[in-house]
């Protein structure tokens, strides 16, 4: 059997944790091989070993049948191995072209020669249908486009073996379809791809074979065509997982959150642009109302205006009948509002604080955790231990773990634990399961329904259509900053919902 890459008996340890425990992974030439596992199962660590970012304690890496020592990304590149990381490694204020040639520039008498580079990039962009503008500045282009730049970086270096680490975590559904097509085209041209993911439908769509890791150990490799999503999720989690959500009918009570005529304007290049248009809606106790839309249609600005992260231009926000429009973020947080933010690093966690401190970020000043001006650390750590237990937050040193060192999925669980455990009246859950595996998604969905049934009002913002259909009691569709439809998930198909989201259909002639 011709394997282009063999990772044999790889073991990689960190303080307090064996991230990869005797793992063997074999990639055939010209296949898309998926690497599936829960958050923190060791997928990214294993790929970082292959890319030379980590050195394994045990095991060998064979490339094209020959044992190789990969001491860093330069060695990996020399062997034709390239990697698109989960958080892109691009220089924000450089152009697309500058980012692609960075590190392997051609110079003549000390001057950069970009003409040949530009031609090669344009040819590659054409051949693989990647269509990027070489002169655009990275900070001005969409995340999907940035990802194409990362793929072009690999092609420009003639990488034959490509590692994609969770490549769809930040993409819109349209961009995901485009990426899947690009991956198929790359393999047709003789490339071999390792694809890290925990989305079963994507594996079914593009992968030939799939290897499963669980808690740092190798579970097995299967042919994707012969394996059901249920079987794969059971291998990954170690038990049967319910891929649909169990929930009874909602029993809406009093109005908790009322948003009236809310608009958000932004000044861009001297012009005022309305990002949110006169939005009004209510969320009642005991219901989950979902704002569904394609990314970038004003969801972020709307939520930031409700929570107070940024200002609204007009409108009012009322919680439990009290006008909160001008109140501080802390006042809202201590008067019934909880918020699972979209960007967990920017608005969700203080990455250099430990897990325990992150779990009390909005309560540390309360009597339970502080006396006169001193923190009651024993109480804080006790509380943290309880949440770690309840929400299965996995980390190497428990409450003392620095948040930055935790896997993305476990960072997300920490935020969900903190926000739900305050027993809020209104919970704003923005993409609460983004980047989570099926086991964690199932758990968070259960928690949201439990909160709903305990009488909380929940406003969910999600880009995942399955999640929208499964969890919502009502769906509000947002398009270009306005609410264009108020739908009952029982009476609408996913296809119809997609048309509303794309602005191709409006409800009852409402604009």
Burial (CB < 10 A; 0-12, 13-18, 19+), residue 308, is: buried
pLDDT of residue 506: 72
Asked whether residue 272 is domain-assigned, the answer is yes
Return the beta strands (E) in 153-254 as ranges: 161-165, 192-197, 209-214, 217-223
Asked if 444 and 507 sit in the same domain, the reply is yes
Q: What is the CATH number of the domain that holds 277?
A: 3.40.50.300
Residue scoring higher pLDDT (232 or 464): 232
Q: Between β-strands 314-319 and 255-268, what pairing exists: parallel, antiparallel or unpaired? A: antiparallel
- Going 338 to 343 to 349 to 350, the CA torsion angle's sign is negative
Range with the largest mean pLDDT of 70-84, 265-279, 338-352, 403-417: 70-84
Asked if 31 and 131 sit in the same domain, the reply is yes
Categorize the per-residue pLDDT at 170 as very low, low, confident or very high, splitting at 50, 70 and 90. low
Categorize the per-residue pLDDT at 267 as very low, low, confident or very high, splitting at 50, 70 and 90. confident
Asked if 7 and 139 sit in the same domain, the reply is yes
- Going 180 to 182 to 185 to 186, the CA torsion angle's sign is negative
Q: Among residues 191, 161, 215, 164, which one has the least CA distance to residue 30? A: 191
Q: How far apart are CA 221 and CA 340, in angstroms?
A: 35
Contact 100, 121 (CB under 8 A): yes
Asked whether residue 136 is domain-assigned, the answer is yes
Q: Is the pLDDT of residue 1 over 80?
A: no
pLDDT of residue 243: 67
The set of long-range contacts for 323-327, using a CB threshold of 8 Å and a minimum separation of 24, is none
pLDDT of residue 296: 79
Consecutive H or E run containing 377: helix 377-390
Q: Where among 203, 237, 271 does a domain terminate?
A: 237
**130-144, 317-331, 420-434: lowest mean pLDDT where?**
130-144
What is the number of domains present in the chain?
A: 3
Residue 153 DSSP code: H
pLDDT of residue 327: 92
Asked if 322 and 458 sit in the same domain, the reply is yes
CB-side exposure of 337: number of CA atoms within 13 Å?
Answer: 26
Asked whether residue 30 is domain-assigned, the answer is yes
Asked if 303 and 435 sit in the same domain, the reply is yes
Q: Where among 423, 438, 467 does a domain terminate?
A: 423
| pLDDT one-digit tens code per residue, 181-197 | 989 999 998 999 999 98
Asked whether residue 343 is domain-assigned, the answer is no
**41-45, 105-109, 377-381, 457-461: lowest mean pLDDT where?**
105-109
- The percent of residues above 90 in pLDDT, for the chain, comes to 46
Domain that holds residue 384: 351-423
- The percent of residues above 70 in pLDDT, for the chain, comes to 97
| pLDDT one-digit tens code per residue, 28-54 | 999 999 999 887 788 989 999 999 999
**164-178, 283-297, 460-474: lowest mean pLDDT where?**
164-178
Q: Is the pLDDT of residue 511 over 50?
A: no
Token pair 């996913």 is found at 494
**What does the pLDDT average to over 168-173?**
72
Query: What pTM value is reported for the model?
Result: 0.69
Residue 402 DSSP code: B
Asked if 332 and 185 sit in the same domain, the reply is no
Asked if 27 and 145 sit in the same domain, the reply is yes
Q: Mapped to the 3 state alphabet, what secondary structure does 90-105 carry?
A: CCCCCEHHHHHHCCCC
**What does the pLDDT average to over 103-114?**
73
CB-side exposure of 439: number of CA atoms within 13 Å?
Answer: 22
Asked if 215 and 278 sit in the same domain, the reply is no
Q: Is the pLDDT of residue 477 over 80?
A: yes
Asked if 437 and 508 sit in the same domain, the reply is yes
Consecutive H or E run containing 179: helix 173-188
pLDDT of residue 384: 93
Q: Is the pLDDT of residue 473 over 90?
A: yes
Contact 396, 404 (CB under 8 A): no
């Amino acid at each position: 059997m011709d394997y282009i890459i063999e990772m044999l008996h790889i073991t990689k340890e960190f303080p307090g944790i064996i991230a990869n425990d005797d793992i063997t992974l074999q990639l055939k030439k010209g296949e898309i091989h998926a690497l599936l596992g829960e958050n923190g199962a060791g997928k990214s660590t294993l790929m970082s070993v292959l890319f030379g970012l980590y050195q394994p304690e045990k095991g060998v890496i064979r490339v094209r049948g020959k044992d190789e020592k990969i001491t860093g990304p330069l060695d990996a590149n020399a062997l034709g191995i390239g990697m698109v990381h989960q958080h892109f490694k691009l220089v924000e204020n450089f152009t697309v072209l500058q980012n692609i040639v960075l590190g392997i520039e051609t110079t003549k008498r000390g001057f950069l020669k970009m003409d040949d580079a530009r031609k090669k990039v344009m040819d590659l962009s054409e051949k693989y249908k990647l269509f990027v503008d070489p002169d655009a500045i990275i900070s001005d282009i969409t995340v999907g486009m940035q990802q194409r730049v990362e793929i072009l970086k690999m092609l420009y270096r003639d990488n034959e073996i490509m590692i994609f680490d969770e490549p769809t975590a930040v993409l819109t559904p349209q961009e995901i379809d485009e990426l899947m097509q690009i991956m198929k085209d790359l393999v047709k041209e003789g490339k071999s791809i390792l694809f890290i993911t925990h989305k079963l439908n994507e594996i079914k769509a593009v992968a030939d074979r799939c290897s499963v890791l669980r808690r740092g150990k190798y579970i097995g490799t299967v042919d994707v065509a012969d394996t059901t999503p249920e079987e794969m999720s059971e291998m990954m989690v170690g038990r049967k997982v319910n891929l649909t959500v169990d929930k009874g009918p909602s029993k809406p009570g009093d109005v908790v959150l009322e948003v009236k005529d809310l608009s958000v304007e932004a000044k861009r290049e001297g012009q005022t642009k309305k990002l949110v248009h006169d939005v009004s809606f209510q969320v009642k106790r005991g219901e989950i109302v979902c704002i569904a839309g394609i990314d970038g249609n004003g969801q972020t600005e709307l939520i930031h205006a409700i929570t107070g992260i940024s200002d609204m231009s007009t409108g009012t926000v009322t919680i439990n009948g009290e006008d909160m429009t001008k109140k501080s973020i802390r006042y809202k947080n201590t008067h019934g509002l909880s918020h699972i933010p979209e960007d967990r690093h920017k608005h969700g966690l203080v990455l250099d604080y430990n897990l325990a401190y992150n779990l009390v970020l909005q309560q540390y000043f309360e009597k339970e955790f502080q006396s006169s001006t001193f923190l009651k650390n024993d109480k804080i750590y006790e509380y943290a231990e309880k949440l770690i237990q309840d929400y299965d937050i996995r980390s190497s040193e428990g409450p003392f773990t620095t948040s930055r060192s935790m896997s993305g999925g476990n960072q997300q669980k920490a935020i969900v634990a903190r926000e739900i455990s305050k027993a809020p009246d209104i919970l704003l859950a923005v993409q609460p399961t983004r980047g989570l595996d099926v086991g964690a998604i199932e758990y968070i969905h259960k928690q949201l329904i439990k909160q709903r049934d305990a009488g909380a009002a929940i406003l969910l913002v999600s880009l995942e259509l399955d999640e929208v259909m499964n969890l919502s009691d009502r769906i509000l569709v947002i398009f270009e900053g306005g609410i264009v439809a108020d739908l009952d998930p029982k009476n609408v198909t996913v296809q119809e919902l997609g048309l509303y989201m794309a602005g191709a259909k409006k409800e009852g002639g409402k604009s």
